[in-house]
Chain A
Amino acid sequence: MSLLLKNILLPLADFTLEVNVEMRGRVTAVFGPSGAGKTSLLDLIAGIRAARSACIQLDETVLADTAKKISVPTRRRGIGYVPQDLALFPHLSVRQNLLYGRNARATNPLFAFEHVTEVLEIRSVISRGVTELSGGEKQRVALARALLASPRLLLLDEPLASLDVALKGKIIPYLTRVRDEFKIPMLYVTHDRFEARSLADEMVVLVKGKVLQAGPVADVFVRPANATVAKFVGVETLQPGLITNVNEGLAIVSVNNVTLTALAPAAPARAVFVCIRGEDVVLQRDVAVSSVRNRLPAHILSIRPEGALFRVELDAGFPLFALITRPACTELGLREGDSITALVKTPAIHLVPR
């Protein structure tokens, strides 16, 4: 699929939403902090809001073009929308909610009532009232309702935001199923980078109404375009440095008098930010022979749990963060105050011009 968003200009309370991007992925994550304009963008695509200027095209269909005064009304855009508050109709039963968008022309067996309700496992709650559902059930009903309308594109606004960790874990598989079973493109708004990483193949980073980076998810995470993006995609270590030498595609970077070897950036630069992901930092006690060029003696400042991992804050001459598994931590006997060597592979150090 191709969703083209061109010349989008929408003044909002504190800033103007400006978007010029083409999305081709199966699942595209719209990623950014709250208040970045993500919901407004979804509203625009669904036709619920009008922009000062916009050109929106889904595959061959022009949904909106302010220059040519075209605007397809919401009900004809064929775009399913699962908003953040789910917006289930409180005065209708679950069944009535599910069937609301159904019309006689829906013949695709993929979107058959039985199939959709089975995939999302809501058969047992169909006859209930909306208020009797649990949080997870409501989520799935809202999803099913959108799917049962046979949409060409599915918009999801922070679908897991209001759920606790356990529930999130339960719903993500359903979303994966939706992605794989129904094969409709999805636009997924989130501020959680783990969700983005696990579900999306493409990503658009939206901060204060501007697109800072767009592209395959892996690219954005590994090679953030600038410090702001890096901060949002969660690069744990972000430090200012100076490139002192570039030779044979490798750059020598000085961070607080500590020397690091990194891949030379595409465009020549001198002042840079050094980005190192926590998961790319290895802690080792004996470091006799290794291919790793960056072996940094450090002491452990703190060890904090983070989900299934530990986040270890080190002083390596500059603040450095590592993400280590708990078993590893126990095996190495890591404690605060310990001295240890931190290993970072050259290609794992990403340089962003300052």
Chain B
Amino acid sequence: MKSGLSKILFLALVMVVNTGLLAADITVFAAASLTDSLKEIAASYGKTSGDKIVFNFGASSTLARQIEAGAPADIFFSADEAQMNKLAKQGLIDAATRKDRLGNTLVVVVPGDSSLQVQSASNLTNAGVKQIALADPQAVPAGVYAKAWLENLHLWASVQPKVIPTENVRAALAAVASGNVDAGIVYKTDAAISKKVKIAYEVPRADGPDIRYPMALVKSSQQPGAAKQFLDYLSSKEAGQVFTQYGFLLQE
């Protein structure tokens, strides 16, 4: 009887352990602009895999700070190289798994009921444009890109006094959507999400900075196996289709 009981207990233990192995919680720290697309991808991934994807969306700069401080992330999906490089320099990411996955376009958006016309970047210096919301240009990728674009055109000095810095690109989008600012600079993919804003100007590739979204495994991950699996899924064709649907460009 004793050996029979211990056999049952052993089986139960194996089952529990296996379930633990089989159904992992994968934590993904991702740029705010990826919110909708990643949620959709995670939903379809969840159908075939037992793993559950938990997201922390925010400004890539904020997320990088959190990972530096020891936050439990398995995957980091940044909106620019700078933040990924910062972590790589500190040896916090698995360099072998790093990959540039997406590109994006900058646009100038205005509130849905606005009559403001932006034919070119210099229009932003007009008196009629009093407040422009963008993600904090000191650190958040979307803001850094916007600043780089305007500096390139020698317009940053004139535009800067009008800038309302926000915590992340979605906050800038929300500011425009609420009508409390005259315009905002966000990603084209963000503008597509909101019905309350409209695109007034799309930054041509030639003028704009090179936007790259790298993703990588975080070294301190507790389930590198499961995390790698999801990371690979993000590189898959199915995931690519979803990204394209939302307006992202795929890096080949």
Q: Classify A-B as touching or not with yes or no (CB < 8 A).
A: no
B residues adjacent to A (C-beta < 8 A): none
